[in-house]
């Protein structure tokens, strides 16, 4: 590469255009800044102790509502009063409602109300992922 043609006569120094280098450096710094915010922060390394009893996995109660508006728990048909007694007896804090898409909305609201009366703190409605 012949840079001598860009020099003026008598000028022994030359200058290189640094614009492209500064642009690339800025893009790299910007990229690293964005990637650093996406990385999970796990700077605390904790080694948990062993226990003799395995942790109890909490399964929420699943209440199924079919298209006719019938309620089921563990494939057993139940009335709202039976569900209320069942939830109070088990002292459940989480309920999942699996309602048919064709069920009357009032039936779903009724079972959610029953769950709240039983002391349930969290009610989830199961859905299917769309494709």
Residue 99 pLDDT more than 70? yes
Q: Is the pTM higher than 0.85? A: no
Spell out the residues 6+ positions from residue 71 whose beta carbon is closer than 8 angstroms to its own: 63, 64, 65, 77, 78, 79, 80, 83, 107, 111
DSSP, collapsed to helix, strand or coil, labels residue 76 as strand
Radius of gyration of the chain (CA): 33
Q: How does pLDDT run across 11-23, given as a tens digit for each residue?
A: 566 677 888 889 9
The number of beta carbons lying within 10 Å of the beta carbon of residue 85 is: 13
User: Who has greater pLDDT, 94 or 53?
Assistant: 94
Whether pLDDT at 106 is above 80: yes
72: pLDDT strictly greater than 70 = yes
Q: What six digits make up the tokens of 130?
A: 């769309």
**What would be the CATH architecture of the domain defined by 61-125?**
2-Layer Sandwich (3.30)
More confident residue, 56 or 30: 30
The pLDDT of residue 5 is 63
What is residue 14's predicted lDDT score, i.e. its pLDDT? Answer: 65
């Amino acid at each position: 590469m012949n840079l001598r043609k860009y020099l003026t006569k008598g000028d022994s120094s030359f200058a290189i255009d640094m614009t492209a280098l500064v642009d690339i450096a800025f893009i790299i710094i910007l990229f690293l800044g964005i990637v650093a915010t996406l990385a999970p922060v796990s700077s605390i390394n904790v080694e948990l102790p062993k226990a003799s009893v395995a942790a109890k996995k909490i399964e929420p109660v699943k209440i199924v509502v079919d298209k006719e508006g019938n309620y089921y728990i563990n494939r057993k048909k139940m009335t709202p009063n039976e569900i209320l007694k069942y939830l109070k007896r088990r002292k459940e804090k989480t309920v999942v409602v699996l309602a048919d898409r064709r069920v009357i909305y009032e039936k779903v609201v009724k079972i959610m109300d029953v769950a709240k009366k039983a002391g349930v703190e969290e009610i989830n409605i199961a859905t299917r992922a769309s494709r």
